[in-house]
Amino acid sequence: MSEPTGRRAPGAQAGPALQQGHPVHPGHGHIVLRFSDGTEHRLRGMTLVGRSPQAEPGEVITDLVSVVDPGRSVSKTHLLVGMDARGLFVQDRRSTNGTVVTLPDAQQILCGESQTVRVPAGATVSFGDLGFVADAVEQD
């Protein structure tokens, strides 16, 4: 597994929801977000990620994941990570430094504000100087 760098490659383009790659689905298990700092988080529902994430009024959020970011490259509430019938997705939450999905073939998608971007298997999600890879983990 490669480490996400949080840097954007020259020529990275914004785009619509992903059309290629197999979606990340838990099957009979669950999804684990493996962060570049070595931490892991089991995805249980709609999850906000940031330095000090907070839901907006009336928003139903399952988990808040706080990340350690001494360089403050990650916004307080940087992105939403969720799962629906089509698979894993992310949405940038008006962050300062953006969110980038890097596909297994190295193409990159810059996430527009509140744009739903699908995360296929093998993709890396970079936000600020951090990132994660999502893995489907089967039940034992």
What residue ranges do the domains of the chain occupy?
29-138
- What residues contact residue 57 under an 8 Å CB cut-off, 6+ apart? none
Give the HSE-up count for residue 129: Cα atoms under 13 Å, Cβ half-sphere: 9
Q: Is 17 exposed, middle or buried (0-12, 13-18, 19+ CB in 10 A)?
A: exposed
25-80 residue pLDDT tens: 555 567 899 999 999 999 989 999 999 999 999 999 999 999 999 999 999 999 99
89-138 residue pLDDT tens: 999 999 999 999 999 999 999 999 989 999 988 899 999 999 999 887 76
Q: Is 124 exposed, middle or buried (0-12, 13-18, 19+ CB in 10 A)?
A: buried
Report the top-level CATH class of 29-138. mainly beta
* Count of CB atoms situated within 10 Å of the CB of 72: 12
